[in-house]
Structures are given as structure tokens and as C-alpha cells.
Amino acid sequence: MDLPSLLSLAQMAWPVMLKGTGYTLLFAVMSMLFGLPLAALITLIRVLRIRVLDTVMAVYVSAMRGTPLLVQVFIVYYGLPSIGIEFSPLAAGVLTLTLNVAAYMSETLRGAIGAVEQGQWLAGTSLGLSRQQTLRFIVGPQALRAAVPSLSNSLISLIKDTSLVSVIAVTELMLATKELISTTFQPFPLYLAAACIYWLLSFCFEQIQKWMEKRMAYPH
């Protein structure tokens, strides 16, 4: 492909891919914003061992982690309407990604809490704090600091996972790229451009992760 043709392709493809990138960011950010509080709630239920709910959350996490995200998208968008529950493609995509990432992040948070020294729990008890108060004021902040890298990795993975919602006709970056290929018949440069955009988005969030780690690091 000569340079003029490549420049012409880029000029035509850029607006479409930019719009698709916007949807990709929308899915990732909204799913993370909704998923993090849900993950915190799941973690709280499991760490405090709230009866019945603890078992329910354990099954939920196992199901989300043990089934492909693509299957989950199909269940929410194509399966639920058969029992009277219907979502728009955008809502179905955000809901599925939220439920999926919340399960993974809850295990990250639970693991971070479990890694905090048992003495911190005992210290809270000696100060007259309840288990909930100890988790909130002593153990929780330490666990969150340790969990930041893994939580950031979940966001980076989420950006890549948004490509799966293209199967329900949401014009995010991957579907936008496929539609361009169907009209231009130039798969290599367009797929390469999409890969570079995903890489750039991931790189930006990696820099945010590093900044957060520095901000939350223990003072020396």
C-alpha cells in the first residue's frame, strides 16, 4: 500500500475509530465506577462472613470467574429477554462488564485484606473497635494501598475486554474497525491501528497507576 493511499485511508478511518475509542472508554470507565463499589460490598460481606449472603457472593464470584465473558454478554443481551428482562446494547454491555470486573476486583480486595498482618486486627480489638470498625479504619486503608496495582491491572484488562461487546452491535473500537475493513478491504493497517489505540489507552492507565502508587506509598 503506497503512502498516498495510506494517508487517504487514515483520513477516512480516523473519525470512525475515534468515535469507537470513545465508546471503549465509556464502557471501561462506567464499568469500573459501578464495579468498584460492588466489589467493595462483596468483599465486605465475605470478610465479615455475613450469613447466607456470604455463600451467595461466593457462588456469584465463582460463576463470574469460571465462565467466559462472551457467554455472559450473550446471557444478558440475548438470554434475559426470553424471561421478560431486556436491555439496550449499551446497558447490556456495561452491566455485563460491571458484574464481571466486580467479581475479579472483590477477590483482589479480599486477598489484600487477607495479606494484612493479623496483629492489625488484634490492635483494633485492643482499642475497643468492632470488627467492622477495625476493617474500616485500620485494615482497609492498608489493604487498599496494596491492592492498587492489581485493581489498575483489572482496569487495563477491562479496556481490552470491551472488544467483546462488539458482538451485540455496540460500535466500540473493534466493531468500528471491522466495519471499516468491510468497506475498505484493508485489514492489516486497520487492525494494526486498533491495536495501537488499545496499547495507547493501556499505557495511559499504566501511568495513572504509577502515579497512584506513588501517592499512596508509605512515607520514608
117, with CB counted inside 10 A (0-12, 13-18, 19+), is exposed
pLDDT (0 to 100) of residue 217: 65
Mean pLDDT of 71-82: 95
Nearest to 181 by CA among 45, 17, 29: 17
From 86-100, 170-184, 206-220, the region with the lowest mean pLDDT: 206-220
Nearest to 46 by CA among 60, 35, 36: 60
For the whole model, what pTM was predicted? Answer: 0.87
Please state, as a whole number, how many other Cβ atoms lie within 10 Å of the Cβ of residue 79: 13
In contact, 43 and 106? CB cutoff 8 Å: yes
Assigned C-alpha cell, 74: 450473550
Instruction: Please indicate whether residue 38 or residue 125 has the higher confidence score (pLDDT).
Output: 38
pLDDT above 90 as % of the chain: 53
pLDDT (0 to 100) of residue 131: 84
51-63: pLDDT as tens digits: 899 999 999 999 9
Instruction: Please indicate whether residue 160 or residue 212 has the higher confidence score (pLDDT).
Output: 160
For domain 3-216, say whether CATH 3.30.365.10 is its number. no
Mean pLDDT (the chain, rounded) = 89
Instruction: Calculate the CA 122 to chain-centre distance.
Output: 34
pLDDT (0 to 100) of residue 104: 94
146-201: pLDDT as tens digits: 888 888 888 888 998 998 888 887 878 998 999 999 999 999 999 999 999 999 99
pLDDT (0 to 100) of residue 219: 53
In contact, 177 and 20? CB cutoff 8 Å: yes
Main-chain dihedrals φ then ψ at residue 136, nearest 5 degrees: -70, -45
Mean pLDDT of 99-112: 94
Please state, as a whole number, how many other Cβ atoms lie within 10 Å of the Cβ of residue 145: 17
In contact, 204 and 19? CB cutoff 8 Å: no
158, with CB counted inside 10 A (0-12, 13-18, 19+), is buried
